[in-house]
């Protein structure tokens, strides 16, 4: 579908980084297989996350549980969550805009900026 939210790079990065952060803060050591599981589940969770504020935090619990990290560690990031959500949104939108430019370019629909510039009226 055209309106699917599948390019949520910021959410995927957030989930991977904070799973590692929470594991380190709790004194847990992650094996290579656990780290690969974080990459896989964070990628899948980013594809399935709704595009609403705070949804990334809910999906972080899913990723934490998939790796065996206690979800209680999520309390460590509750305070700055709103600011982090805004930053994730910025990363997601930048990725969406980049993909839109690439698709428009390959389809030959990218506007020629020089041809579309308006001339300034000189007084």
Q: Per-residue pLDDT tens for 84-120?
A: 889 988 988 888 888 888 888 888 877 765 555 555 5
Q: Per-residue pLDDT tens for 12-56?
A: 899 999 999 999 999 999 999 999 999 999 888 888 777 788 888
Q: What is the pTM of this model?
A: 0.75
Q: Which residue, chain included where needed, has tokens 């990459």?
A: 39
- Please compute, for residue 122, the number of CA atoms within 13 A of its CA located in the half-sphere on the CB side: 0
Q: Which helix (H) or strand (E) holds 100?
A: helix 81-106
How far does Cα 79 stand from its chain's mean position? Answer: 19
């Amino acid at each position: 579908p055209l309106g699917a939210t599948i390019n949520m790079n910021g959410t995927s990065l957030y989930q991977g980084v904070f799973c590692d952060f929470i594991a380190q803060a709790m004194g847990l050591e992650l094996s290579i297989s656990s780290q690969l599981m974080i990459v896989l589940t964070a990628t899948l969770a980013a594809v399935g996350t709704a595009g609403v504020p705070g949804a990334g935090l809910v999906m972080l619990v899913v990723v934490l549980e998939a790796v065996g990290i206690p979800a209680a560690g999520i309390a460590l990031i509750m305070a700055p969550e709103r600011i982090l959500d805004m930053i994730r949104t910025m990363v997601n939108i930048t990725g969406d805009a980049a993909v839109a430019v690439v698709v428009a370019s390959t389809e030959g629909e990218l506007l020629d900026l020089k041809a579309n510039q308006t001339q300034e009226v000189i007084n």
